[in-house]
Amino acid sequence: MTTKPEMTAAEIASAVAGRKMSALDATEAALARIKQHDGILNSFTDVTADRARAKARAIDADIAAGKEVGPLAGVPFAVKNLFDVAGLPTRAGSKINRDLAPSKRDATLIERMEASGAVLVGALNMGEYAYDFTGENVHDGPSRNPHDTTRMTGGSSGGSGSAVGGALVPIALGSDTNGSIRVPSSFCGIFGLKPTYGRLSRARSFPFVASLDHLGPFARSVTDLALAYDAMQGPDADDGACTTRGLEPTLPLLANPVSDLRIAIAGGHFQKNVFPEAVEAVSRVAKALGATKVVDVPEASRARAAAYVITTTEGASLHLDRLRKRPNDFDPAVRDRLIAGAMVPAALVDRAQKFRRWYRAQLAEIFKTVDVLIAPATPCTAPKLGQVNFNLDGVELPVRANIGIHTQPISFIGLPVVAVPVPLEPLPIGVQIICAPWREDIALRVAYALEQMGVASAPAPRGL
């Protein structure tokens, strides 16, 4: 059996377990595709070819010996370069971290993916220290959008978006503090899951904003997203914020009907500052799901402001010593934001954390009468690389600051979200499927229904 570039993880795992394809062939196909296209996409910063081949051979040996293999047997995947990968310094998109000693042990989520049979093929480009919505990086160059390589991938998990959108790998992992999984999913036309805060272990990944950081998967199908998510669930004493809840597998629930769900469109803030393509995408999703009710999310703009304040101050605290000792080794734009963050008075940060408690209670009320909220993932499709402003309703607005306005008020209180790609022409755009805490199963179920209806799908990369 020959591999084709857009084989899903589920198809690869099935072919490998069924001895129709070897894990080594699946791995070689991914490595070849990376070699062919990554010169343009710039999604990888490290390709771990030797490690990947060794892992793939071990899986093939297990299969030959009749041993059980996991549900991701032979599936190539890659991780944002803030995940610890044994043998590599965890650069987190920075120049400074390249001086760190190589990691001795993989991040927990890599260990869990590989325990399920997946094969790590490399580490992915990202915005410096994850303080980014564009996917641009002054040290490594920008990751490029697989549908139009003159455009942004979105960030900060830009390489993750580019690698999966470009079908170099079927699954990638990234992080999301304010939107860094959902924004690249939107711009690159793929599915992304930002789980509930605390659901997936962050152990041995480089942090950004401890009280907002989440890790999660990207994929080209909802089944693959659920496969990866289920493989990574579970408590982990190495991450103090990780839940002690047991495994709650979602894959067996994907095909359950969605007709019993109460689905509403997020109003107010989420219907403002959007381009027509975002309105069209939300409208298609709402129509397919039969959602007509609009629910106002109170004070979402203020929630976005509070998320901004907590981000800039906690980020500044994390990097304070590096800002003192190596300020010229930062991306100047990141450095200047972090220095300003260090200067925000503590009383205002505490106000933001208290507001967060209030806002969380408002959303908890909403989720008593609604199971799902629909909102845009980004206000627009992918802007041009280097683009500074966009014009919305005759008003010039800064691109960088406005890309995440619809994702920030959701991650601010840790709600689970699946970003689903709506394949508009000429560029795709994402819609957020938002649920109550710990209900990733519902978000994935709705995403699966949209995929089955043909409303959400990952388009073939058009820029390659």
Partner 1 sequence: MAEPLDEYIDAVSKALALPVEEAWRPAVRANLEVSLRLARLVDEFALPDETEPAPIFTA
Residues serving a catalytic function are 80, 156, 180
Task: Render the burial of 52-72: b for 16+ CB within 10 Å, e for the rest.
Answer: bbebbeebbebbeeeeebbbb
User: Using CB atoms within 10 A of its CB, is residue 260 exposed (0-12), middle (13-18) or buried (19+)?
Assistant: exposed
Residues 114-153 that bind partner 1 (CB under 8 A): none
Min dist. Cβ of residue 101 to partner 1 (A): 26
DSSP 209-233: -TTT-EEEEEESSHHHHHHHHHHH-
Distance separating alpha carbons of residues 427 and 381, to the nearest angstrom = 6
Site string for partner 1, 323-362 (x = CB under 8 A): xx--x----xx-xxx-xxxxxxx--xxxxxxxxxxx-x--
Nearer to partner 1, 323 or 397 (CB): 323
Pairing label, strands 171-176, 76-80: parallel
296 binds partner 1, rule: CB under 8 A: no
Side chain identity at residue 278, one-letter code? A
Answer for which of 40, 47, 96, 320 binds partner 1 (CB under 8 A) is 320
Nearer to partner 1, 218 or 308 (CB): 308
* Cβ neighbours, 10 Å, residue 149: 21
Min dist. Cβ of residue 379 to partner 1 (A): 18
- Residue 305 contacts residue 405 (beta carbons within 8 Å): no
Nearer to partner 1, 294 or 309 (CB): 309
Answer for which of 40, 96, 305, 397 binds partner 1 (CB under 8 A) is 305
Which span sits near partner 1 by CB under 8 A: 170-178, 317-325, 372-380, 454-462? 317-325
Nearer to partner 1, 352 or 446 (CB): 352
Report phi then psi at 460, rounded to 5.
-60, 145
Q: Which of 317, 272, 306 is nearest to 412 (CA)?
A: 306
Element (H, E) at 449: helix 440-452
Pairing label, strands 429-435, 417-422: antiparallel
* Cβ neighbours, 10 Å, residue 423: 18
Distance separating alpha carbons of residues 451 and 445, to the nearest angstrom = 10
Min dist. Cβ of residue 383 to partner 1 (A): 20
208 binds partner 1, rule: CB under 8 A: no
Which span sits near partner 1 by CB under 8 A: 16-24, 274-282, 318-326, 449-457? 318-326
- Residue 409 contacts residue 307 (beta carbons within 8 Å): yes
- Residue 331 contacts residue 140 (beta carbons within 8 Å): no
Site string for partner 1, 16-55 (x = CB under 8 A): ----------------------------------------
Answer for which of 211, 256, 362, 452 binds partner 1 (CB under 8 A) is 211
Element (H, E) at 367: helix 346-369
Distance separating alpha carbons of residues 216 and 236, to the nearest angstrom = 15
Nearer to partner 1, 60 or 213 (CB): 213
309 binds partner 1, rule: CB under 8 A: yes
Which span sits near partner 1 by CB under 8 A: 23-31, 252-260, 294-302, 455-463? 294-302
312 binds partner 1, rule: CB under 8 A: yes
Residues 239-268 that bind partner 1 (CB under 8 A): 240
Distance separating alpha carbons of residues 124 and 82, to the nearest angstrom = 9
Nearer to partner 1, 62 or 299 (CB): 299
Which span sits near partner 1 by CB under 8 A: 71-79, 180-188, 231-239, 306-314? 306-314
- Cα 340 to the chain's mean position, in Å? 27
Side chain identity at residue 329, one-letter code? D
Enumerate residues 6+ apart whose C-beta is below 8 A from 54: none
Nearer to partner 1, 57 or 360 (CB): 360
Which span sits near partner 1 by CB under 8 A: 36-44, 225-233, 262-270, 302-310? 302-310
Residues 398-427 that bind partner 1 (CB under 8 A): 401, 413
Min dist. Cβ of residue 321 to partner 1 (A): 10
DSSP letter assigned to residue 40: H
Q: Which of 71, 101, 30 is nearest to 230 (CA)?
A: 71
Min dist. Cβ of residue 322 to partner 1 (A): 11
Residue count, binding to partner 1 (CB under 8 A): 40
- Residue 179 contacts residue 407 (beta carbons within 8 Å): yes
Nearer to partner 1, 67 or 324 (CB): 324
Q: Given the rule CB under 8 A, which residues bind partner 1?
A: 211, 240, 299, 301-302, 305-306, 308-309, 312, 320, 323-324, 327, 332-333, 335-337, 339-345, 348-358, 360, 401, 413
